[in-house]
């Protein structure tokens, strides 16, 4: 069925012929019969990674295949959304090993983007927890791969943006929890130096992330709030919470009903928002116990918050620079604050070590910024790309809608190896997206 689709950033928007399937045999046939396509889940990557003239949607392919409650091993079809997994596993005392900031992504998407969470420095990315998975290759064959079985296919699929084939089944390990709550600590940092020092000081925490006010100049440049968390134990709960320690959050969601006019977001309003957000924590440090939802998924409470950026959409710019290159971080934040390009969401976190072929994380600092699309933005981001590269960093493909192929190549030293594996399993470039064509990963 032809329809207009866009991912979470609402940029770009394009017409696509979307096919759906529910069964294994249908999927294999569809993959064989479709000339060019890209797998598509819930469309929560930001740019054009799951866009193309033809897409195969996994959303109806969402069945749980097995759940070993004793050992915490979960197996499902690739279209299952994390939200639905949490509903099943949390009451049984298990949690996702790694989760991004939204629970509305599919398992297939989690693998294709090799998502990371606030615990990357401790637990790595999603692919570190995969036992095995099935891939439907371009010719309809199904291969089971794992770190030891077809390891090249496995590695190129984790973070490979769906280009190796259609992920159909994923089996992964869960994390044991005693309660569904998080023991949270929030600390205010006066500036960038301070927040980096705090990250260092609190690196033993399982979960950590910082919100940065990226418009503040002068002494308070880089002021931020560090948010730390641990899974709460029974002893951390109050009497009321103890009655049902593994309870699921109650459903209540507010929907952002329409696109805001784009003039609403300007330097002034973003400054005001940041002022209020930073100021809402009166105390230097707050310690409390909260449900897992506000901790992991604060923005999921507002459905379609992406409409806040207006019809033209927005770009999420996320990069990582190595640990010893924090000067790069400073330089980029300075450029943003000088330019006055505001972002409600500027999120900083530290990645731990990771060996990867095409996955985004590497040891260092990662910063994510939301910036509404406007005139001159892409030129400005091209300049930022050069700073990222100068410091030996790279950009996140799941958030990308505009980088140039040279930027990808310079950021991912094993790119050629990745391309070769894609070529091996998807020889005619049948599986391709707007992004993969733009980045010259599939053009032949």
Partner 1 sequence: MSTVLILGAASDMAVAIAKKYAAEGNAIQLAARNIQRLQPLQSDIAIRYNTTCTVHEFDALNFNSHQAFFDQLPVKPDITICVFGYLGENETARASWVESEKIIHTNYTGAVSILNVVSNYYAAQQKGVIAGISSVAGERGRQSNYIYGSAKAGFTAYLSGLRNRMFHEKVHVVSVQPGFVYTRMTENLTLPPLLTANPEAVANTVYKAVAKKKNVVYVKWFWRWIMLIIKSIPEFMFKKLKM
Return the number of the residue (22 or 327) whose C-beta is nearest partner 1: 22
DSSP letter string over 173-242? E-EE-S-SEEEEEEEEESSHHHHHHHHHHTTTSSEEEEEE-TT--GGGTT-EEEEEEEEPPGGGS-HHHH
Among 64, 122, 248, 303, binds partner 1 (CB under 8 A): 64
Q: Which residue has the tokens 């990674």?
A: 49
DSSP one-letter code for 31: H
Return the number of the residue (141 or 353) whose C-beta is nearest partner 1: 141
Residue 25 lies near partner 1 (rule: CB under 8 A) = yes
Q: Which of residues 86-145 bind partner 1 (CB under 8 A)?
A: 87-88
Residue 22 lies near partner 1 (rule: CB under 8 A) = yes
Surface-to-core class of residue 229, CB atoms within 10 Å of its CB (0-12 exposed, 13-18 middle, 19+ buried): buried
Return the number of the residue (24 or 132) whose C-beta is nearest partner 1: 24
User: In whole angstroms, what is the distance from residue 25 CA to residue 70 CA?
Assistant: 31
User: In whole angstroms, what is the distance from residue 116 CA to residue 74 CA?
Assistant: 18
Range in contact with partner 1 (rule: CB under 8 A) among 30-38, 65-73, 129-137, 332-340:
65-73
Return the number of the residue (23 or 268) whose C-beta is nearest partner 1: 23
Range in contact with partner 1 (rule: CB under 8 A) among 58-66, 218-226, 227-235, 345-353:
58-66
Range in contact with partner 1 (rule: CB under 8 A) among 56-64, 94-102, 130-138, 393-401:
56-64
Apex 36 CA angle, 31 and 42, nearest 5: 70
Minimum distance, C-beta of residue 53 to partner 1, in the bound complex (Å): 18
Residue 442 lies near partner 1 (rule: CB under 8 A) = no
Residue 60 lies near partner 1 (rule: CB under 8 A) = yes
Minimum distance, C-beta of residue 23 to partner 1, in the bound complex (Å): 5
CB 233 within 8 A of CB 180: no
- Alpha-carbon Rg for the chain, nearest whole angstrom, is 21
Binding site for partner 1 (CB under 8 A): 1, 20, 22-25, 60, 62-67, 77, 87-88
């Amino acid at each position: 069925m032809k329809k207009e689709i866009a991912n979470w950033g609402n940029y770009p928007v394009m017409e696509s012929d979307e096919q759906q399937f529910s069964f294994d045999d249908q999927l294999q046939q569809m993959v064989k019969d479709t000339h060019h396509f890209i797998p598509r889940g819930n469309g929560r990557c930001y740019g054009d990674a799951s866009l193309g003239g033809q897409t195969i949607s996994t959303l109806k392919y969402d069945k749980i295949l097995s759940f070993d409650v004793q050992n915490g091993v979960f197996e499902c079809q690739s279209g299952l959304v994390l939200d639905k997994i949490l509903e099943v596993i949390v009451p049984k005392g298990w949690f996702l090993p790694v989760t991004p900031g939204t629970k509305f992504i599919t398992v297939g998407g989690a693998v294709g983007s090799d998502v990371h969470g606030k615990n990357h420095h401790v637990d790595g990315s999603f692919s570190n927890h995969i036992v095995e998975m099935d891939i439907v290759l371009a010719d309809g064959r199904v291969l089971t791969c794992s770190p030891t079985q077809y390891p090249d296919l496995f590695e190129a699929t984790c973070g490979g943006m769906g280009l190796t084939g259609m992920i159909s089944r994923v089996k992964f390990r869960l994390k044991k929890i005693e309660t569904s709550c998080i023991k949270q600590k929030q600390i205010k940092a006066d500036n960038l130096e301070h927040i980096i020092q705090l990250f260092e000081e609190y690196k033993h925490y399982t979960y950590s992330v910082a919100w940065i006010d990226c418009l503040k100049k002068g002494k308070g440049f880089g002021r931020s709030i560090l948010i730390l968390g641990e899974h709460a134990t029974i002893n951390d709960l109050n009497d009321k919470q103890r009655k049902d320690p593994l309870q699921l959050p109650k459903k209540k969601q507010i929907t952002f009903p329409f696109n805001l006019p784009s003039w609403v977001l300007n330097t002034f309003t973003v400054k005001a928002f940041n002022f209020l957000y930073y100021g809402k924590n009166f105390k230097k440090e707050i310690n409390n116990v909260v449900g897992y939802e506000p901790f992991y998924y604060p923005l999921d409470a507002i459905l379609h918050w992406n409409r806040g950026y207006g019809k033209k959409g927005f770009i999420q710019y996320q990069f990582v620079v190595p640990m010893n290159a924090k000067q790069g971080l400073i330089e980029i934040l300075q450029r943003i604050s000088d330019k006055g390009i505001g972002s409600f969401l500027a999120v900083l976190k530290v990645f731990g070590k990771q060996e990867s072929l095409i996955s985004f994380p590497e040891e260092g600092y990662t910063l994510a910024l939301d910036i509404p699309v406007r005139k001159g933005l892409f030129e400005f981001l091209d300049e930022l790309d050069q700073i990222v590269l100068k410091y030996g960093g790279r950009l996140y493909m799941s958030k990308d809608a505009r980088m140039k192929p040279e930027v990808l190549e310079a950021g991912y030293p094993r790119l050629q190896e990745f391309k070769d594996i894609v070529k091996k399993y998807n020889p005619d470039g049948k599986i391709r997206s707007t992004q993969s064509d733009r980045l010259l990963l599939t053009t032949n």
